A and B are shown apart, each in its own frame.
Chain A
Amino acid sequence: MTEAWFSALGEPLGEDERSEVDGYLAGLGLKAPLRAVKTWDEAAARCRAPSDDWWRREEDERERLERSARLDPADPEWLALNDVLHGAAAVAAARAGCADQALIRVAAGSASYAAYQARLAHAAGAAEGHPFLRKYALYCGGRWPLGVYHGEFSIF
């Protein structure tokens, strides 16, 4: 599979992507209308707001999975993926005229965290359709899922 990291930012969402978001939120016990983010500035503003309930639900699930599986954060293959994610975020930002090194790292860090969560879900034997796998699929398809802010699920 060829991942399209950060290549579809700001593009209209397809039905399958909307369905993936619904499944992801339902898996975390959440329901929220979708907000399509159009620019890097808007993405930055969104994720600078607190999002405690959504983040807590993801963290609870991460902690549950980590009780049955552990990953090595210094694994060279894993670090190589992180470099690919950072490079892809930098290219996408440059195409959109964004040169904010911190924001590029924020995007890369979010994809790294999602990749970690998905690997953890696999390692722990989670079923297909697990929310972490659904969120990671959105990243693979070129999106940046930003999370739930002010009652809306934002996706770039």
Chain B
Amino acid sequence: MSAYPSIKTVEEFRQQPEEYQTAVRKIVRSHALNELYGAQVFDEPAIRLAPTPYAKWLTCRVAMEEYHHHVRFKELADQIGVRPEEMDLRQKRPLNIFEVPLESWEQFCVIKMLGDLAEILQVEDLLHCSFVPLRNIARTTMPEEKFHAQFGLDFCVDLVETEEGRAKVQRAVNGFFPEVPKFFGAAGSKNNELYRKYGIKLRSNEDMRADYIARAKATVEPLGIKLP
């Protein structure tokens, strides 16, 4: 882990090297946008697809939690000087993971199970971030992210009880999973090198991607599902 000192406040942040500030802004902006995209393109539309009021209301609560995560990151983005145009969804193309069209409840459950697992890894990497306000948002967000992934897993467990359900879950995994490893960024990334230099993140993109694939495999195999 980097020996970079803890930066406890936004005022201290402003006294850090420009390179540090830019790196933190990139990460905060990325999380703020990802949380918003996720809520808009997956969680909110999934309320309509959910099969029962229980599932619909649970999805509604999950959507509200994702919007709240967006707001937490967005507030920090505003405080550390991320420009409003950088937060404008009309000007920023979403990550590939958010361009998968949501078409079924089974697909949504798979997205929560495997997509939120990817988010958990990203947030885990910030739990010891040198910028304490960002570290604290990650720590506040983490229990809810874990619940969202568990939500996806629990519904997938129910779905695979029938052969038809298992086939639908497998199809959804086949369609969604190949997009997720790209979510961790390029190998040999210069940005990631800076994040580690300044103790903002702990691991390389390659390490995180390998860990994700192993954890995703361990998640789906007990369900009789294979990663493509």
Binding site for B on A (CB under 8 A): 44, 47-51, 55, 59, 73-74, 76, 79, 82-83, 86, 101-102, 105-110, 112-113, 146-147
A/B interface sample: 9 pairs, CB < 8 A: A47-B57, A73-B44, A74-B36, A102-B154, A105-B147, A109-B56, A109-B58, A110-B57, A112-B64
**Contact A105:B61 (CB < 8 A) given known A47-B53, A48-B52, A50-B51:** yes
Q: Which 8 A-B pairs have CB atoms at the shortest separation, nearest pair first?
A: A109-B61, A109-B57, A109-B60, A110-B57, A105-B61, A47-B53, A47-B54, A48-B54
Expressed in whole angstroms, the Cα–Cα distance for A109 and B63 within the complex equals 9
Minimum Cβ distance to chain A for residue B7 (Å): 25
**Contact A109:B64 (CB < 8 A) given known A74-B36, A74-B70, A102-B151:** yes
Minimum Cβ distance to chain A for residue B104 (Å): 16
Interface residue? B67 (CB, 8 A):
yes
Expressed in whole angstroms, the Cα–Cα distance for A44 and B67 within the complex equals 25
For B, the interface residue count at a CB cutoff of 8 angstroms equals 26
Q: Is the CB of A44 within 8 A of B54?
A: yes
Expressed in whole angstroms, the Cα–Cα distance for A7 and B72 within the complex equals 29
Interface residue? B102 (CB, 8 A):
no
Q: Is the CB of A112 within 8 A of B53?
A: no
Residues of B within 8 A of A107 (CB): 57
Expressed in whole angstroms, the Cα–Cα distance for A26 and B188 within the complex equals 63
Interface residue? B39 (CB, 8 A):
yes
Interface residue? B34 (CB, 8 A):
no
Which of A48, A73, A86 sits near B61, CB closer than 8 Å? Answer: A86
Expressed in whole angstroms, the Cα–Cα distance for A105 and B112 within the complex equals 16
Residues of B within 8 A of A73 (CB): 39, 44, 63-64, 67
Expressed in whole angstroms, the Cα–Cα distance for A61 and B116 within the complex equals 32
Q: Is the CB of B53 within 8 A of A51?
A: yes
**CB under 8 Å from chain A, chain B span 101-139:** none
Q: Is the CB of B53 within 8 A of A110?
A: yes
